[in-house]
C-alpha cells in the first residue's frame, strides 16, 4: 500500500496518506475530497516500510479506518 502526497484544492494543505486505488482521500484540515495526488520523490524503501507499519499500527490503535476502502468501512460500521 503506497504512501502518497496530496494537496487540497480547497485550502491548499498538503498531507500524506496511505491509499489503495479505491480509497477516497479527504483533506484532514477542511474535509474536502477535492484533493490532487502529488508526484513525490520515492521514499527510501526502509523508511517507507516503517512509515506504513507505523500507519497501520496507529490506525489499529486509534480505531479509525482511513486505510480501508469506503466499501470496507461500510461493512465495519
Ligand atoms: Zn482542505
Rounded CA separation 57/49 (Å): 12
pLDDT for residue 16: 92
Q: Beta strand pairing status for 3-8 and 14-18? A: antiparallel
Cα 67 to averaged position of ligand 1 atoms, centre (Å): 19
Question: Which of the pair, 67 or 26, is modelled with greater confidence?
Answer: 26
pLDDT in tens, 7-56: 999 999 999 998 887 778 999 999 999 999 987 666 566 677 778 888 88
Say which residue the cell 513525490 belongs to. Answer: 40
Q: Are 6 and 18 in contact (CB under 8 A)?
A: no
Is the CB of residue 69 less than 8 Å from the CB of residue 22?
yes
Q: How confident is the model at residue 76 (pLDDT cuts 50, 70, 90)?
A: low
* pLDDT of 33: 94
pLDDT of residue 77: 63
Ligand 1 centre distance from Cα of residue 14 (Å): 8
Amino acid at each position: 500500500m503506497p504512501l502518497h502526497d496530496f494537496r487540497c484544492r480547497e485550502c491548499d494543505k498538503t498531507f500524506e496518506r496511505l491509499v489503495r486505488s479505491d480509497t477516497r482521500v479527504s483533506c484532514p484540515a477542511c474535509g474536502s475530497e477535492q484533493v490532487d495526488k502529488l508526484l513525490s520523490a520515492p521514499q527510501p524503501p526502509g523508511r517507507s516500510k516503517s512509515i506504513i507499519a507505523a500507519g497501520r499500527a496507529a490506525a489499529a490503535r486509534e480505531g479509525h479506518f482511513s486505510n480501508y476502502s469506503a466499501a470496507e468501512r461500510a461493512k465495519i460500521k
